[in-house]
Amino acid sequence: MLEALIRTKNSPRSDKRRGDVICVKLKELNDWGAMERRVHMVVDWEDAELESSMRGELSKTGVATTVITPYKNETPCFLYDDDGSKIFSGTITKTRSEKYFDMDLGVPSEKSENQVSQEFEENKIFVKDEIVKEKPTAQHEQFVIDSALQEEAATAYSEYLHRMQADLAKYGIPTQIIDGKLVRRS
């Protein structure tokens, strides 16, 4: 028998959903922490194939494994903006948990193709929204340009101070650069 750690809340800003199987451990070897038990639900879990794999790993290595998001399904995806320009190329989660715990019925369940498809569409919208949020605005671009100019000016000024310090040293005048100023040492 296995035990699964189940997510109890939706996370509106990610692909995490209520009922997701977060991770699975062999029941007799579980050691869920107090925080895990406080914010998630621990339930008995049956999955003969997964249990067989975990027991095989235990007998081979002597280490009880924890399988993280065992029912997660990801797929390569391209996303385009309204103008048809590609804005994303990468992997997006179709579903975090094809098998999940139905919180309303209190039983393990499997998502239908329709549920997985709907979740995938929601995840694509989430990724697209995050990209749009991160896209620099004209004001942000101006700040980046201003910052680059300031950095360039600071570098030039620092080089100028070091040249002046070297020139004064030629005449035996000891100096030190403190807080962007050339100070004579005694």
Is pLDDT at 143 greater than 70 in this prediction?
no
Number of domains in the chain: 2
Overall average pLDDT of the 168-180 stretch: 84
Overall average pLDDT of the 1-24 stretch: 90
Same domain flag for 108 and 154? no
Q: The domain containing residue 143 runs over which residues?
A: 138-184
User: Token pair of 66, please?
Assistant: 């924890």
Residue 130: C-alpha distances to residues 79, 83, 90, 119 (Å): 12, 17, 14, 17
pLDDT at residue 162 in the model: 85
CA–CA gap between residue 7 and residue 40 (Å, rounded) = 5
Overall average pLDDT of the 71-95 stretch: 90
Q: How confident is the model at residue 129 (pLDDT cuts 50, 70, 90)?
A: confident
Same domain flag for 109 and 169? no
Same domain flag for 118 and 37? yes
Same domain flag for 28 and 116? yes
Same domain flag for 87 and 160? no
CA–CA gap between residue 6 and residue 155 (Å, rounded) = 53
Same domain flag for 34 and 111? yes
pLDDT at residue 100 in the model: 95
Q: How confident is the model at residue 182 (pLDDT cuts 50, 70, 90)?
A: confident
CA–CA gap between residue 18 and residue 8 (Å, rounded) = 5
pLDDT, mean over the chain: 87
Same domain flag for 54 and 146? no
Same domain flag for 118 and 159? no
